């Protein structure tokens, strides 16, 4: 009744037909994997087997820093100086920002990008300057993409917001892999090699302070800052979180953060709150310190806003 | 009874397989020659390095002296007579008339125009020095004391490091702190802090320029 079937159960025609479908199917599959060919950031065995930051011995860390140095040199053609700076004893960092003095010029935003090797394209910025009407503090109505000929504008004030280095950080609580934690000097850090990129921390942060590398970060060689630290400004990979870390590579060497150094108005103050003679101790004792931002969240920021008068 | 549908199903199978092969071939072409499906991002220009400059708003006379720079513009006694106080002239509103030889000086110190006498701060017998309100001579590098004689609370904050610019080391045992003076930011003749063009803001996901630039590939 039907066409005679050969001994192997398939005639020539149906074999050709099936194999045509199979071949084109395989070709399509192979072609769809083309983006993999463009990938050049496969983890090396070394990076893949790397231990958790807190479990590394100094010898392990040395190896890791060497690996990072070589990777950066290979990628950017510039040999960096990578170190792992540890917190100092008897130091708790506090940042104070004078809202009376800030003129909203955004120099801090870009000094931060330059210091901390953020991606330039797309550009990742840790600091967001909010422009608000005098006499109000409605963050919902704040504007962050203002671009007038001249700042400050009459009738407005400016409030830079960055990681508040909370004493009770919600971002740390939600991290499923403990890739972010608070150090003893109060800085909340991210281990970029341990982060899985789930972005829970970004969702948990009430200050919109965490940034995600959606694409491979791009930094021109001439803009790369070669003074790097493991938990700080070493170049990140695609798919990891990052945020302000009070310029850990500067502050743990005793220097001021980059945003403070560049502020033309002197609105930014930084120091050790445990030192009674520090600028920040003076400010918290003597000035009108007005808020910890979103105080009601119970995050207890180490970032304070204050006024003159 | 059974053969008719079987023949049909064989034809249908052939058709389906042919269609599948065509779809796969199409996909192959799309994957190989088409765009990778990633959104085309607009290139962001690198920020002007002037915005990264940590220099103060202005350089004071004391800075120029310290850095041993050309001071020919500050040779007071090329024109003024030594030991003799230069005369002051006022208009009918008691505003001081600044001599045309000093075009860079705009008098705007104090909101009521009351601080309109050069010798409130300058030493009238020695123009290379200042003098305090009680008549003590002060060098230009000691000017904060002079400012502080009127602006007490600000001077107190400045001494504590809460007002004004600092740079260098927060940890004094590791390095020195560089404390900037009043006149590094404020022009003493017109002290209001100058405004400026702000640096570029955050890059928007959909900047307005993209909407107008019609690129067929950006519509994926």
**Secondary structure in 3-state letters for B74-141:** HCHHHCCCCCCCCCCCECCCCCECCCCCCCCCCCCCCCCCCCCCHHHCECCCCCCCEECCCCCEECHH
Contact B61, B140 (CB under 8 A): yes
Q: How confident is the model at residue B14 (pLDDT cuts 50, 70, 90)?
A: confident
Say whether A125 and B180 touch across the interface (CB within 8 A).
no
**With contacts defined as CB-CB under 8 Å, which chain B residues touch A269?**
161-162, 166
| pLDDT of the residue at A122 | 85
Mutate to test the interface with B, among A24, A148, A211, A284 (most CBs of B within 10 A): A24
| pLDDT of the residue at B41 | 66
Whole-prediction pTM:
0.83
Q: How confident is the model at residue B214 (pLDDT cuts 50, 70, 90)?
A: very low
Say whether A282 and B161 touch across the interface (CB within 8 A).
yes
Say whether B175 and A271 touch across the interface (CB within 8 A).
no
| pLDDT of the residue at B216 | 45
Mean pLDDT of B37-50: 78
Mean pLDDT of B36-50: 77
Whether B34 has a pLDDT exceeding 80, the answer reads no
| pLDDT of the residue at B39 | 60
User: Which residue from A201, A199, A197 is spatially nearest to A182, judged by alpha carbons?
Assistant: A201
For residue A181, CA distances in Å to A164, A169, A184 come to: 14, 9, 10
Contact A280, A72 (CB under 8 A): no
CATH of domain A93-307: 3.30.70.20
B51 within domain boundaries: no
| pLDDT of the residue at A245 | 96
**With contacts defined as CB-CB under 8 Å, which chain A residues touch B18?**
17
Nearest CA in chain A to B40: A122
Q: What is the mean pLDDT of chain B?
A: 84
For residue A177, CA distances in Å to A191, A201, A208, A235, A287 come to: 10, 11, 21, 21, 40
* Both tokens assigned to A119: 């991606």
| pLDDT of the residue at B212 | 47
Domain that holds residue B142: 62-185
Q: Cα B81 to the chain's mean position, in Å?
A: 41
Q: How confident is the model at residue B36 (pLDDT cuts 50, 70, 90)?
A: low
Q: What is the pLDDT of residues B103-140, one digit of tens each?
A: 888 888 877 777 878 888 998 888 889 998 888 889 99
CB pairs A-B closer than 8 Å: 180
Residues 88-107 on A with a CB inside 8 Å of B are 88, 91, 96, 98, 101, 103-107
Residues 47-76 on A with a CB inside 8 Å of B are none
Q: What is the pLDDT of residues B172-195, one digit of tens each?
A: 999 999 999 999 999 999 999 999
* Both tokens assigned to A127: 């600091």
List the beta strands (DSSP E) in A205-308: 210-212, 227-229, 241-243, 268-272, 288-291, 303-307
Nearest CA in chain B to A280: B162
Q: How confident is the model at residue B207 (pLDDT cuts 50, 70, 90)?
A: low
What ipTM goes with this model?
A: 0.82
CA distance A234 to A189: 13
The total domain count for chain B is: 1
CA distance B156 to A6: 103
Say whether A123 and B41 touch across the interface (CB within 8 A).
no
Domains of chain A, by residue range, sit at 93-307
B10 within domain boundaries: no
Whether B2 has a pLDDT exceeding 80, the answer reads no
Mean pLDDT of B197-201: 94
Q: Which regions in chain A score pLDDT beneath 70?
A: 1-9, 38-41
Q: Which has more pLDDT, A141 or B94?
A: A141
CA torsion angle B145 B148 B152 B153 (round to 10) = -100
Q: Characterize the bridge pairing of strands B130-131 and B137-138.
A: antiparallel
């Amino acid at each position: 009744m039907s066409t005679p079937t050969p001994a192997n159960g398939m005639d020539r025609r149906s074999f050709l037909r099936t194999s045509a479908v199979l071949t084109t199917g395989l070709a399509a599959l192979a072609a769809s994997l083309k983006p993999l060919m463009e990938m050049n950031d496969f983890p090396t065995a070394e990076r893949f087997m790397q231990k958790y930051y807190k479990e590394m011995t100094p010898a392990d860390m040395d190896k890791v820093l060497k690996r990072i140095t070589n990777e950066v040199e290979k990628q950017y053609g510039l040999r960096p100086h990578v170190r792992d700076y540890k917190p100092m004893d008897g130091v708790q960092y506090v940042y104070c920002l004078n809202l009376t003095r800030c003129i909203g010029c955004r120099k801090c935003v870009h000094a931060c990008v330059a210091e901390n090797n953020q991606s330039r394209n797309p550009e990742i910025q840790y600091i967001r300057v909010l422009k608000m009407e005098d006499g109000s503090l409605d963050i919902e109505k704040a504007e962050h993409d203002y671009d007038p000929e001249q700042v400050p504008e009459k009738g407005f004030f400016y409030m830079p917001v960055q990681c508040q280095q909370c004493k009770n950080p919600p971002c740390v609580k939600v991290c499923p892999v403990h890739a972010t934690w608070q150090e003893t000097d109060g800085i909340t850090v991210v281990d970029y090699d341990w982060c899985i990129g789930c972005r829970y921390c970004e969702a948990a942060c009430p200050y919109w302070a965490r940034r995600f590398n959606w694409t491979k970060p791009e930094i021109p060689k001439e803009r790369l800052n070669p003074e790097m630290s493991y938990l700080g400004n070493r170049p990140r990979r695609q798919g990891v979180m990052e945020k302000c870390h009070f310029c850990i590579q500067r502050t743990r060497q005793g220097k001021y953060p980059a945003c403070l150094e560049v502020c033309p108005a002197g609105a930014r103050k930084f120091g050790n709150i445990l030192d009674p003679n520090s600028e920040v101790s003076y400010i918290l004792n003597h000035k009108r310190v007005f808020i910890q931002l979103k105080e009601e969240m119970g995050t207890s920021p180490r970032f304070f806003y204050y006024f003159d008068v | 009874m059974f053969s008719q549908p079987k023949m049909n199903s064989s034809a249908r199978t052939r058709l389906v397989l042919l269609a599948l092969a065509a779809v796969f071939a199409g996909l192959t072409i799309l994957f190989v020659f088409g765009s990778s499906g990633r959104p085309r991002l607009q290139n962001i220009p690198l920020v002007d390095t002037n915005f990264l400059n940590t220099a103060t708003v202005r350089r004071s006379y004391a800075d120029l002296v310290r850095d041993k720079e050309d001071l020919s513009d500050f040779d007071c006694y090329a024109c003024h007579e030594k030991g003799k106080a230069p005369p002051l002239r006022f208009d009918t509103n008691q505003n001081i008339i600044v001599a045309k030889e000093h075009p860079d000086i705009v008098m705007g110190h104090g909101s009521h125009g009351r601080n309109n006498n050069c010798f409130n701060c300058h030493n009238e017998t020695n123009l290379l020095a200042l003098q305090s309100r009680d008549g003590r001579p002060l060098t230009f590098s000691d000017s904060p004391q002079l400012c502080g004689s009127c602006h007490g609370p600000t001077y107190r904050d400045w001494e504590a490091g809460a007002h004004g610019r600092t740079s260098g080391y927060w940890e004094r045992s590791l390095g020195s702190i560089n404390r900037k003076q009043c006149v590094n930011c404020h022009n003493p003749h017109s002290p209001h802090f100058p405004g400026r063009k702000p640096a570029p803001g955050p890059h928007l996901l959909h900047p307005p320029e993209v909407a107008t630039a019609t690129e067929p590939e950006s519509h994926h």
